[in-house]
């Protein structure tokens, strides 16, 4: 459960005067269309049509592995091969088939994200693989379910203050007051001119990340152990 403090902190962080400018800079919405974008993560959701494209929504593809590299992580070759053609591929696919691709986190029932849910089991399955870790795990799952599961890394965790369960805390914050924060994120996206195919979760991630990445120092952000997802 999200505390009032977490929800209010999140609202404040997403309502700063710099939020729109940071978002526009990240997604390069001024029509320059540079061959190499300033932020490679701006291609994370759209590379090869997206990880939640209907024909590949329940499998990990080579494009998914490249997409997570745009967010400055890399899946080690043994784990990559296991995800593409090993037993791990089948195990993850079976779980992905149970996780809806068309549900926004703000509209999700808590049970869809809580302990023992297919999403939670997928997180633990990936996080348990050698060389992956919680940051890469979150980015892989966000690639496959961008509307439901968030990108989450050291920078964002440092900004939001280490909630005990990031997924459930974020879901509650987004759903509060009739999905007010969710709608705020969509309005921010549309106002800046970011494509509507970019989810509210990703807008949230980018604004938070941009607000802190320049000053982020891991040693100042508490313990290194990841918060549980659900």
Could you report the per-residue pLDDT of 88-107, keeping only the tens digit for each? 999 999 999 999 999 999 99
Residue 89 φ then ψ, to 5°: -60, -45
Q: What is the pLDDT of residue 38?
A: 84
Give residue 214's pLDDT band: very low, low, confident or very high (50, 70, 90): confident
pTM: 0.92
- Report the pLDDT averaged over residues 162-183: 94
pLDDT at res. 44 = 97
Contact (CB, 8 A) for 142 and 136 = no
Residue 182, pLDDT > 80, answer yes
112-159 tens-digit pLDDT: 999 999 999 999 999 999 999 999 999 999 999 999 999 999 999 999
pLDDT computed for residue 215 by the predictor: 84
Per-residue pLDDT for 17 more than 60? yes
**The pLDDT of residue 230:** 42
pLDDT in tens, 20-54: 999 999 998 766 555 567 899 999 999 999 999 99
Please provide the average confidence, as pLDDT, over all residues in the chain.
91
Q: How confident is the model at residue 5 (pLDDT cuts 50, 70, 90)?
A: confident
Would the pLDDT of 175 be above 70? Answer: yes
Each as own residue / partner, the long-range contacts of residues 111-115 (CB below 8 Å, 24 or more positions apart, any chain) are 112/148, 113/148, 113/167, 113/168, 113/171, 113/229, 113/230, 114/168, 114/230, 115/228, 115/230
Confidence band, pLDDT 50/70/90 cuts, at residue 220: low
């Amino acid at each position: 459960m999200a505390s009032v403090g977490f929800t209010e902190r999140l609202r404040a962080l997403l309502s700063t005067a710099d939020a729109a400018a940071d978002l526009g800079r990240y997604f390069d919405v001024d029509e320059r269309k540079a061959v190499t974008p300033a932020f490679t993560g701006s291609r994370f959701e759209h590379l090869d049509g997206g990880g939640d494209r209907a024909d590949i929504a329940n499998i990990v593809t080579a494009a998914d592995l490249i997409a997570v590299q745009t967010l400055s992580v890399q899946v080690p070759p043994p784990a990559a091969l296991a995800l593409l053609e090993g037993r791990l591929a089948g195990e993850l696919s079976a779980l992905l088939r149970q996780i809806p691709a068309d549900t926004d986190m703000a509209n999700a029932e808590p049970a869809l994200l809580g302990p023992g849910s297919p999403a939670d089991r997928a997180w633990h399955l990936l996080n348990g693989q050698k060389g992956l870790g919680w940051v890469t795990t979150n980015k892989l799952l966000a690639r496959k379910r961008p509307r439901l599961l968030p990108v989450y890394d050291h920078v964002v965790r440092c900004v939001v203050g280490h909630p005990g369960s990031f997924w459930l805390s974020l879901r509650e914050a987004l759903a509060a007051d009739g999905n007010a924060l969710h709608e705020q994120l969509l309005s921010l996206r549309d106002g800046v001119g970011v494509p509507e195919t970019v989810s509210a979760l990703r807008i949230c991630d980018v604004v938070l990340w941009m607000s802190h990445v320049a000053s982020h120092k891991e040693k100042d952000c508490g313990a290194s152990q990841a918060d549980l997802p659900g």
